[in-house]
Amino acid sequence: MDFTFNEDQLMFQEGVRDFLMNEVSPEKIRELWETETGRCDELWGKLTEMGLTGLTVPEEFGGMGMDELDFVLLAQECGYVALPEPLVQTVLVAVPTLVNSSNDDLKSTWLPKVAEGSARIAVGLEQNLLVEDAHVADLIIMEKAGALYAVEKGEAELEYNESVDLSRKLYKVTFNEANATLLAEGDEAKALIAGALNRGALGCAAQALGLTQRMIDLSVQYTSEREQFGVAIGTFQAVKHRMANVAVPLEYSKATVAFAAYAIANNLASVDENVSHAKSIACAASLIGAKNSIQVHGAMGYTWEVNLHIYMKKAWALDKTWGNQAFHKGRIADAIFADNANIGAGKTFLA
């Protein structure tokens, strides 16, 4: 069996990587920190021109009709540049939540707008107390008392909360159900909430892979240029070991994140533990990456001027959103210790 990504997926990833590296520099990110919204309409327009905002929108609504497995590599590239725009949560969380709902009116109204780049959708679940990018969202899908509501812009009260990552704009959202549209309730809402949680966690895991790789690259560059005793500190064995200890868990995490995307796209029964496995170890790798990168940078690693903190702080933030380590390790433990758990050498390839 061939478990690798196909040529089209890899070429798409390469194209997105080149675009993001040109458009989303550390200097650009710092500039956005000083703006009112922290977001850039021009950049969002360019993402739309590439077809990224409509990637998971069905073709009947003007999108490309792709799935999570097609997008997961692109989410990694979003992490690599620490993309401030809410592309991952819109494409990976909000759009599939609408697509999988039974509310045809909301789908026909909002999905074409997302595909053409004229609307952004945020999602707020009880798992996350704060909603990211609610201030620029034209529609917010909110969980309340086991149901899901679609809240249009201006129909909710937003209370800003600071984040350790200056690129993340977090808000406490309150709304009146009478002014919102009921998206789903009962078993349908439960299924949509579970799907949104898994896709949000997958998005964090994929971005964590990109962030970890960026921190490795920054550290390798720094240690290649910084000299001590007349030689680059990157030649010292202790420094090499620090970065090797990041590279190993990063490589191990890549396969689990890819399989989690496959599990979601193909509705595997094991999807919860697959996603939790990916989220837990990918974010753990990014935390190790942040810690060891600071250490090899020395005192410089803590300073505002060094770009490392842009990626380090986002890694810290993503580890705590869409379920923290305790939540995801708990789901893994439930799966492992279940009476019907498919574990052991004889059941390695069972779904």
Cross-strand partners of 182: 149
- Please give the structure tokens belonging to residue 248: 């190993």
Q: Given a cut of 60, is residue 226 above it in pLDDT?
A: no
Nearest to 311 by CA among 215, 219, 216: 215
Rounded to 10 deg, the angle between the 237-265 and 271-297 helix axes is 160
Report yes or no on 57 lying in a domain: no
Q: Is residue 206 part of a domain?
A: yes
Let me know if residue 284 belongs to a domain: yes
Q: Check residue 302 and give its pLDDT.
A: 74
Question: pLDDT tier at 304 (50, 70, 90 boundaries)?
Answer: confident
- Residue 215: inside a domain: yes
Q: Which of 127, 38, 55 is closest to 91 using CA atoms? A: 55
pLDDT of residue 240: 63
CATH number at residue 279: 1.20.140.10
Distances (CA, A) of 179 to 84, 114, 138, 146, 155: 30, 22, 15, 18, 7
Burial label for 99, CB within 10 Å (0-12, 13-18, 19+), is middle
Residues 97, 87 contacting (CB under 8 angstroms)? no
Share of the chain above pLDDT 70, in %: 91
pLDDT for the residue numbered 227: 45
In a domain, 120, yes or no: no
Asked if residue 41 belongs to a domain, the reply is: no
With respect to residue 35, please indicate whether it lies within any of the assigned structural domains: no
- The residues with which 161 forms a beta bridge, in sequence order, are 170
Domain count, the chain: 1
- Poorest-pLDDT segment among 121-125, 141-145, 224-228: 224-228
* Full residue range of the structural domain in which residue 254 is found: 188-337
What pLDDT is attached to residue 348? 61
Residue 237 falls within a domain, yes or no? yes
Cα-flanking dihedrals φ and ψ of residue 252, to 5°? -65, -35
